[in-house]
Amino acid sequence: MPSYECKCEKRIDIGPIPNPNEWLMISDTNYDDFSGQIDAEYLYGKFIHMLKCPSCGRLWIFWEGFDKFPTCYEK
């Protein structure tokens, strides 16, 4: 199953759907671009993906998609 290694050496499981370790974010201004009924798959493509380490709580944000290395934020 695919996973991502955190700096604390804990493996973050990224395989399950839905994934309790993955969060989806959208900016307030980008959210305002949507109104009424929308295509969920299209909206999903607009989200920024974030992983939260279940061990240490670090946040791994993929600002430029999964093709680029994410930015790590820690408490």
As a whole number of angstroms, the distance between CA 13 and CA 22 comes to 9
What's the predicted TM-score (pTM) here?
0.83
The label of the residue with tokens 């370790």 reads 21
Number of domain units in the chain:
1
pLDDT digit string (tens) for 18-69?
999 999 999 999 888 888 888 888 888 899 999 999 999 999 999 998 889 9
Query: Which domain range does residue 15 map to?
Result: 3-73
